[in-house]
Amino acid sequence: MLLRENPSTEALEAWIIQLRREFHRYPELSFEEYETQKKILKILGELGVEARKIADTGVLASIRGTLPGPCIALRSDTDGLQVQEELTERNTDYISRNDGIMHACGHDGHMAMLFGAARLFQENRNFPGEVRLIFQPAEEIPPGGSERVIAEGGLEGVDAIMGMHIFTNHESGSVGFRPGPFMASTNRFEVIVKGKGGHISKPESCIDPVRMATDFLSNLYPALKKQLESDKYIVGVGRIRGGAQFNRVPDTVEILGSYRTFDRETTDIIDRTIKECLDEVVKRYAKPGEEFSGFPDYELDILHGYPVLVNNPKFTSAVNSKLQESFPELTVYPELEKTFAAEDFASYLQKVPGIFISLGTLNQEKKIVEINHSCKFDIDEEILVTGTEIFYTLSLDFLKNPEKYLNSQGCFNTEPLRKSLKIDR
């Protein structure tokens, strides 16, 4: 790396690692990142960077060069997860002090790398245009903090955007991405199956919502398999809840699940199939008689969360070329497989061209192998200076040569996904 050849890099790297550990010790949940926000504002103030609050618990900052030019935004997420961190041989010094909350997805490292890039730009102001820093809250919960940032003007005047995420799906220090659809949309469905409760010894007087729920799920999976190829979607149920005691048929059963897709057509097929399977179950369990009037029934609530994350093809191609040119020793995967992971960074990419980059942290020798969201998740801190330099080098190249990165006619179709579909029968 270019920074590795600079004698001052050792101090910068130590500072970045220190910041990452400070953020790791005190994680906060989505839209509760008040202390994190205070820390971010304090560090920016020490660097002399102008900043303001955005999206309630986020921070927006700007560093302007000495010459006029375009604006590129760099984004980090800031929220932790509701996970109890487990003590390991590595994290003794920086294990979470906030009980039941953990930076189990690398957001502490994302913030540290963004500060590293900010420090480099602040110390070397001889560049055209503006670098916009977005410290965004609430990436972990749909619809995500990105929509708040956008609604409050965080992208005004921005010509392009970059984000980076630490993952254990490739080796430490390598980077990966792909042009076009890269990460899936995330969608949630909630069903309330309504039966008719009563004593379990009188099944003829009841309509059992437990059996209805079981049949619904048993029918849903094969119905989708008939219509869709397996690599186009994932569907699963995270919670089934109903009943209170062993000898009573309950009145309702609640089902909470989700599905992920890479295009609107697949999303529409799954929406429709869920409803059709529920209609079929209601029809099958219907009974004659006035006492069964209005039973069985269901309520269906579908929330379309993060859209598909689509990397702008021209921007991605320019990033790949610049990385190959500037970092010949860097392992780059320019055609990573699409992933069913989801990210609210997708909303930014619907507004301006840019790229979302995966930064690998898998290191068998250091026993850094746990996947994101694990209670033992950790990162190889050597990658932080790598991510910092990638942010800095690509941003600087864009500011000096925006024509390499941008299409004259704009980018991705910004048609928004529907946010919800609610059916009350």
Known binding residues for Mn(2+) are 105, 107, 140, 165, 373
DSSP state of 417: P
Provide the token pair at 151.
Answer: 């609604």
CA distance 266 to 187: 12
In the set 285, 381, 392, 405, the catalytic residue is 381
CA distance 186 to 260: 5
Q: Which residues are annotated as a binding site?
A: 105, 107, 140, 165, 373
Annotated catalytic residue 306: yes
Residues near 345 by Cβ (< 8 Å), separated by ≥ 6?
75, 139, 146, 163, 309, 356
Q: Which residues of 134-149 are buried (b: 16+ CB within 10 A; e: fewer)?
A: bbbbbbbebbbbbbbb
CA distance 1 to 200: 70
Q: Residues 323, 395: contact at Cβ < 8 Å?
A: no
Q: Please tell me whether the peptide bond between 296 and the residue prior to it is cis, using omega within 30 degrees of 0.
A: yes
Rounded to the nearest 10 degrees, the angle between the axes of helix 9-25 and helix 383-400 is 110
Q: Residues 375, 102: contact at Cβ < 8 Å?
A: yes
Provide the token pair at 126.
Answer: 């001889």
In the set 285, 306, 392, 405, the catalytic residue is 306
DSSP helix/strand/coil, 19: helix
Task: Tell me the CA distances in angstroms from 259 to 54, 212, 356, one per residue in order.
Answer: 30, 21, 22
Question: Which residues are part of the catalytic machinery?
Answer: 306, 381
